[in-house]
Structures are given as C-alpha cells and as structure tokens.
Structure 1
Amino acid sequence: MLPTVKSESPELPFELLRDIFELAIATTPGCAVKFALVSSTAQEWIESIIYKTIVLDLPVKKTKLFLQTLESRQPTFFAAKVKNLHVTTFVSFPEVQQILSVCTGLDNLTCWADVQPFNELRPLIPVNRLQKLSIKIETFWGISTGFRYFDAEMFPCLSHLEIVNPPCDDSSLKVDWEGLCKLPKLTHLAIGSLWAITHNHVVEVIRMLLEKSDTLQALLIISMDDDFIELVKEHGLRDNPRVVVMPTFDSFAETEAEYWKAVVQGGPDFWTAADKVVQKQTEEGYQENFIRK
C-alpha cells in the first residue's frame, strides 16, 4: 500500500507575494479594494499602493470621498502613506488646508488651488523634504506686496519646480528669480501659462536662469500664446537645448483625464516628456549654454 502524501500549499516569500499584488493592481486597478480583503497584510500592501499617489480633480465627488476618509483615519496614516498629492483648481483653499494638515510626508506636491485673502499654504507644505512642487506663487506665499525669496534652506531637496501663472508685469508681488539659482538640487523648472501681454519680464528671467544656474537641465516654457513664443525665439532662447516649449502641461496626452490616470498608475508625466525633448535636442547638435542675443 502506497504511503499517503499530504499536499501542502507552497509558502511564497513576502517580497514575491507583494510583487504579485502590485502587478495585479497595476493590471486591474478597479479590483484593488477586493484585494485588500484577502488579509491584514494584503490590506497594508494595497493601502500603501492606493494612497501613494492621490489626484483630486473632477468629479468633485472624488474629493468629497477623500475628505470623508481623512476624518475616518488617524493623521499618521496619511503622513505615512501619501507621497504624491496632485490637487487641481477644483479643490477649494480650505479643503487643501485640511488635506495638507495631515499629508505631511509628501515628496511630490501639485497644488493649483486659488489663494484666499490673508492666507498662504507655505506653513503647511513640507518644503524641507519636497522633491517636486507645482504651485502658484500667490498660493504659496499669499497675496502681498514686496519681494519673495527662494533659498537653499527652504528647498534643500527640490529638484523639479513648476511656477503656475506667475505674477504679471505690473504685479505688486515681486519674486527674487535669481534665488532659484541657489537651490542646490534644482534640475527642472517650468513656468506657465505665459502671455506676451502680461509676462514680458519672464523672457529676461528665463535668459538669466539659463546663464547663471549650474544645475538646470530642463526649462519648460508653457504657453499657448504665439506672441510670447515669438518673443522667446527673438531672444534666441529656443537655441538652447534645455529649453522646451509646451502649450499645456498635458499636451502629450489625449485628454487631461488620461494624463492624470497615467500619473496615478505611475506612468509618465510632463517632466518625463520634457526630458525626452531635451535629449533629442541635445543629440541633434544644439550648443548647450548658447543664447543668441
């Protein structure tokens, strides 16, 4: 009589199990919540993936649901889980304040909310650890007069910065643009949306940054204005391989919704697209640091 052989389920290493769950979520993101019900360990893995990148855009219901979740979990949960936060203009300033008060472990922040009088977001933003930031100057520092300064102590880790809708030529808020050259790790800078009728001074700012920055690898000019783009050409700025002109931040995607969907899934963003353009321009023989007057 043959001995009975017990059949046991193989025990896979935790690292392999986690890789399997991550692959499953990447291919079928709609099933993430169901995967989280498998076990407490699986829930921990799935939540780390789900909350790593948060995009709050349309529909507004998405933001409302996230705000409800904020009230149901401990602040430490969001501080540990949320690393990439993208907030568009459809989120109000008070809502952004509430979200940033608990998402304190961010590496990447996009915040396009409109500022409220006598308010600023700077105290709530973890500037000392941020690597990527996209924000309006007025939202960051508040609406005020006088100069605002960038310095290395404020942004020691920042490598990618997008200044959204910069102050106009006649704005009472002045920016020390040269301070950007002091940021030790700044390699990518985007400025936009730019218009010739309101942003003539930005052309000279771009020239100065290209000449003085030792770290800048890509400078994105975001503009749909033919007159502003013509100004850029007249000043010879397009001859620099680091300069990339884009009509909108999501110009390489089919729609804005598709752009954000790709970002959530860890796909390319507009910085990735810009890097490809810079590489191509450099390979085609542009002379770096050359700016024609």
Structure 2
Amino acid sequence: MINQKLRQFLQLILATTGLTFTTNLSEGKAEKIIAQSEEKLANLAIGGSPIMITILLAYLAEQSSIKNLVETVDFRIWKTHDQLRADAVSGKLQVSATPTSLAANLYQRKVPIKLLNVLVWGVLNIWSNQNIRSFEDLKNKTLLIAFRGGLPAQLFFYLAKENGLDPEKDLKIQYTTDFAQAVQLLLAGRGDAALLSEPAGTGAELRGQQQGLDIKLAINLQEEWGKVTGRAPRFPQAGTLALTSLIDKYPGLIQTIQNGLVEAVNWSQKNPDDAAALGAKYLGLKAPVIKKSLGYTPL
C-alpha cells in the first residue's frame, strides 16, 4: 500500500497539472484559430534539465511551430533544483522541464505555475560495479543520491522502507549536487552505488568501461515501484511546467507547446540518431551515449 506521504505527493501532482496533451484534429484546428487571434509573444524562455526530457524541450525550441507564435525563443539548461526554483519564482523561465516533485512543491508554496504534462515515466535506477541486485545487498554500502530532498531521495527512501531497510541506519547516504557529481564519485570509487537518472546512468556505464569498471544497472526502481504498489512499473518523474500568466494570456501558444511536445516524443522515437545528436548538443555527452540512453527512457 502507498503510504500517506507518497499519496499526498501524487495527489499534489494531479492538482498541479493544469492541462493535458491533445492531439486530435478538431483540437488542432481550435488551437490554430486561438493562436491566430493572439498577439505574438516577444520572447519565450524555455528551460531544459540535465535529463533526457531536454531532447523534447530542445526540439520544441528549435523545430516546432511555436516559432510562428513567438518572436524569439531563449532555450537554456538549468543545472540544479535551486536554479530552477529561483527562475520559476522570478519568472525568468516561462516554460521548463521539471521534476514532478519540484512542480508540486512550487504549487504548494503558491508559486503561480502549473504542470502541463508528464513526459518521463521513470528512469531512476541504481547503478554499481559491485554485486548488488536487491535492496538487501545495499546494507552497509555507500549510496550516492543527487538532489537532497528531491524525487530520487523520496522514491528511494519509500522503496527501501517497503523492502525492510532503514535508509538512515542500514546504509550510508551521500548526497551530491547533481547526477554528474554522483557519476564522478562512483567512478572514483567513493561510493558503492549511485542512484542515477538518464543519461547519467548510461554515461556511468560507458565511462566505467573505459576505466575497466563493470558498472551495470543493479536495481530497476520502476520495477520495484510496481512490485511495492501493485501498479504499473512506472511513476511520474518529470514533465513541463508553465507560468499561469502565460497560460492565461496565451492559451493558443500553450496548446501549440503541448502538441509540439507530442510531436517531439514521436520524432525522438522514430529518429533516435537525430534525437541523440540534439541531446548531445545540450547534455554534455556524446551522441552514442544519448542514443543508448534512449533505450532506458520511457517517454
């Protein structure tokens, strides 16, 4: 059974979600009519993140039809949750990739944003070069977790407790600034395992091979989620937020963004080489790493 805290988190995500994807023809026509009646937005600031969702946001910024509705598009990558939080509160980012937990937190704090959608349904896994295949194997180990208090930590603590572990007593948790730092520490032998999203997990595996380290996916947290909850082996990890002021004033643009992201998902699935090249441009990893990572990423 899902505990109360996690249930509240999932309810918050639903409350935060203001819109859903629409792809049928009639809605597409309505979107075009509304968009044509709106004044053109001078500048749209879109934020990407250090995970695979950035490919979809980059496609939106560079290749979708939003360019017909916006004078200029400013696409940038935020590195930390604190940076995203500050940019959302200040309004510097009008649309951004976001962990669902952070969007729920902002919503709870009355920050005027809504979660437009969920695009990533779980790519959090534990990676290690040791004989770790279960939560029991993590006892007395050092586990690297990025973003203290964020979704990775929340999910791990919940699943660990459901598997009979006390994370604060049975193993050592070492928090890192981001996934990149967790990978660096894992490769340096300063952690026994790391909880990583994609493309960081695949990056750790391939960089480990170069150093003679056999880093593998040790525990699939999506599968563990399914076992514990009795639900599908996926959970809402990341999506897209938007300022409510943008939603209220430019509904046609928002619908174009939604449809552009649907298009981006389809494009990335049909064109993995091109998607990998676009991801490499923004994620700081080579295209082959990104392409392999796409196989781990349920969009």
TM-score computed with the length of structure 1 as normaliser: 0.27
Which structure has more strand as a fraction of its residues? Answer: 2
Which structure has more helix as a fraction of its residues? Answer: 2
